[in-house]
Structure 1
Amino acid sequence: MDLKSTLLVVGGSACSFKLLNTVLRFLPTPEQALKKSWRWRNISTSLAHSSLSGAWALLCFYLQPQLLEDLISHHSLLSHSLVAASTGYFIHDFLDVALNQSYKQSWEVLLHHSMVLSCFSLALTSRLYVGYSVVSLLVEINSVFLHLRQLLLLSGRKNRTDTTTPRPSVTYSVISWLNLASLFVFRVCTLGWMTHWLVAHSELLPRFALMMGTTGLSLISIMNVVLLYRLIRADFISNTHNTSRGL
């Protein structure tokens, strides 16, 4: 895929996710989420991207296992298109968040997206590290459950309605456990493997690429540790405390 085709895919992807976000304005929104309608649309759009890119990344490695053997120079139309399409989404989401949230609320997301866009842009323009970028998109498999959890919270479907003591619903409990399990597999393990690969191949990488990868992985790893802490505290520690207090 040449540069012009790449830019067309990036632009088309950004416009498609913007269109999806706009269409969501006219679809029914849960009553409890009406006051946070922008948040509902933003997370729903993110869920669509996570579902698409997570499945697409798995398909890349299933159809082209040789991609794992050479994460630096090997790439294909399928893998290159995935990175381009995800780049379009992150551009859309960066602008959507920047225009609709205060910097105090959105700085973590903007920082994350800036790092991802920097790394993906390098892969797309140089046609190097495409496989490494596809590995990073395996994280989106966990994001599917993370976004489903957020949508349940926004729609007021966290707790059961048949008890006076606040207790998580079956649906929310299942999503919480799947979210935690997939976080360990597709975030912790994936980022750990990416870090190990970066260290093992540091001599083969230009200094700027090594610095970019190290900085990005360090920041995103810190964010994931904070995310893990918040999830455990919100979904497991507080729920245990509420149940004990009710008993």
Structure 2
Amino acid sequence: MDLKSTLLVVAGSVCSFKLLNTILRFLPTPEQALNKSWRWRNISTSLAHSSLSGAWAVLCFYLQPQLLEDLISRHSLLSHSLVAVSTGYFIHDFLDVALNRPCKQSWEVLLHHSAVLSCFGLALTSRLYVGYSVVSLLIEINSAFLHIRQLLLLSGRRNRTDTTTPRPSVTYSVTSWLTLATMFVFRVCTVGWMTRWLVAHSEHMPRFVLTMGATGLSLISIMNVVLLYRLIRADFISNTHNTSGDL
């Protein structure tokens, strides 16, 4: 795609996710989540993006495995379009979070989105590192399970209602284990592979690109450690003491 077409796809993506978020206002919201309706809509919209982009990224590598041989200069219309659509989502979510949540509660998300938008913006305008950007979107497979888990928590479906002792429901337990498993595979392993690749190809990259990539990976790595700690503490350590937790 040329630059004009790319910008149109990005703009269309922003509008599409905004439309989805607006439609969710008119759909039923679980009673337990009524006092957090904005968060319900935001996470539901994020789930839509994670499901779409995660599956799309896998499809890109399935249809064009050659992308893995050259993550710098090789790309396809499918992969370039994926990065453009995801860029539109991150723009929408950045604005949605910035306008609806206090900065003290949202600075991590805003910082993450800023780093992602910088890297994706470079890939879209230069048509370089598109494959590398697609690899990073494999992380969204785990994000989908994280969002499902959050929606279960918001809707009050964490614990079973047929017992006096708080015990996680089967649905929540399965989701929690899948979240943990995909976190190791699609977050920890993917970021580790991306870091190794960046180091191996550092001599062939401009210094500002290398700095941008290293900064983004460092930020994501820190966030992954925090997410993993919170998940284990809330769902696996706390459950031992029959307490509840959130992520």
Q: Does the alignment reach a TM-score above 0.5?
A: yes
Tell me the residue number matched to 1:239: 239
Q: Tell whether 2:174 aligns with 1:168.
A: no
Letter in 2 for 1:168: P
Q: Where do 5+ consecutive residues of structure 1 fail to align?
A: none
Q: Tell whether 2:42 aligns with 1:14.
A: no
How far apart, in 1, do the equivalents of 2:36 and 2:177 lie?
A: 25
How far apart, in 2, do the equivalents of 1:138 and 1:153 lie?
A: 24
- Once the two structures are TM-superposed, the CA of residue 79 in structure 1 deviates from its matched residue by 0.2
Matches within 5 A, 1:151-230: 151-230=151-230
Q: Tell whether 2:138 aligns with 1:138.
A: yes
Tell me the residue number matched to 2:96: 96
How far apart, in 2, do the equivalents of 1:66 and 1:206 lie?
A: 23
Letter in 1 for 2:28: P
Number of residue pairs matched by the alignment? 243
How far apart, in 2, do the equivalents of 1:166 and 1:115 lie?
A: 40
Q: Deviations along 1:196-236, whole A, 9 cap, x unmatched? A: 00000000110000000000000110011001000000000
Q: Deviations along 1:165-220, whole A, 9 cap, x unmatched? A: 11100000000000000000000000000000000000011000000000000011
How far apart, in 2, do the equivalents of 1:224 and 1:106 lie?
A: 16
Tell me the residue number matched to 1:73: 73
How far apart, in 2, do the equivalents of 1:219 and 1:30 lie?
A: 34
TM-score by length of 2: 0.98
Match of 1:108, SS? helix
- Once the two structures are TM-superposed, the CA of residue 52 in structure 1 deviates from its matched residue by 0.3
Match of 2:242, SS? helix
Letter in 1 for 2:122: L
Q: Where do 5+ consecutive residues of structure 2 fail to align?
A: none
How far apart, in 2, do the equivalents of 1:145 and 1:106 lie?
A: 20
Letter in 1 for 2:105: Q
Match of 2:25, SS? helix
Letter in 2 for 1:81: S
Match of 1:122, SS? helix
- Once the two structures are TM-superposed, the CA of residue 14 in structure 1 deviates from its matched residue by 0.4
Letter in 2 for 1:158: R
- Once the two structures are TM-superposed, the CA of residue 241 in structure 1 deviates from its matched residue by 1.5
**RMSD in angstroms over aligned alpha carbons?**
0.6
Letter in 2 for 1:8: L
TM-score by length of 1: 0.98
Letter in 2 for 1:97: V
Q: Deviations along 1:25-83, whole A, 9 cap, x unmatched? A: 00000000000000000000000000000000000000000000000000110000000
Q: Tell whether 2:126 aligns with 1:126.
A: yes
Large movers: runs of 4+ above 6 Å: none
Q: Deviations along 1:138-189, whole A, 9 cap, x unmatched? A: 0000011000000000000000001111110000000000000000000000
- Once the two structures are TM-superposed, the CA of residue 240 in structure 1 deviates from its matched residue by 1.1
Match of 1:26, SS? coil
- Once the two structures are TM-superposed, the CA of residue 16 in structure 1 deviates from its matched residue by 0.1
